[in-house]
């Protein structure tokens, strides 16, 4: 449902390749750690399942480094609002709630 709503805005996250040897290299995705104090729904979530969450963030910092002639940017973000997408919510409700 989120993919349909934000098709032009949604981007797949590309994992960074591990710097370990090829035999043990694992994809390294960005991580987000939350507690049930922040998002109570995670109490019922199962390891290995996938969920859609929406966040409103404020950028607090930005940095850049060069890696093999490629500029890599990093952002420091504060999460201001967070919510779980319910499969039964209507597209219009989502647009109003999360896109203004």
| Integer Cα distance of 35 and 52 in angstroms | 16
Report the first-to-last Cα separation within the chain, whole angstroms. 18
- Using 50, 70 and 90 to split pLDDT, how confident is the model at 51? confident
Residue 53 confidence (pLDDT) = 87
Percent of the chain with pLDDT over 90: 39
- For all residues of the chain together, what is the average pLDDT? 79
3-state secondary structure the chain: CHHHHCCCCCCCCCCEECCCCCCCCCEECCCCCCCCCCCHHHHHCCCCCCCCEEEEEEEEEEEEEEECCEEEEEEEEEEEEEEECCCCCCHHHHHHHHHC
């Amino acid at each position: 449902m989120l993919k349909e709503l934000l098709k032009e805005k949604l981007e797949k996250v590309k994992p960074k390749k591990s710097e370990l040897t090829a035999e043990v290299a694992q994809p390294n995705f960005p991580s987000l750690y939350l507690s049930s104090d922040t998002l109570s729904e995670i109490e019922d979530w199962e390891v290995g399942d996938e969920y859609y969450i929406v966040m409103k963030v404020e950028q607090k910092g930005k940095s850049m480094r060069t890696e093999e002639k490629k500029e890599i940017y990093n952002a420091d973000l504060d999460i201001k609002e967070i919510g779980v997408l319910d499969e039964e919510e209507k597209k219009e409700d989502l647009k109003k709630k999360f896109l203004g």
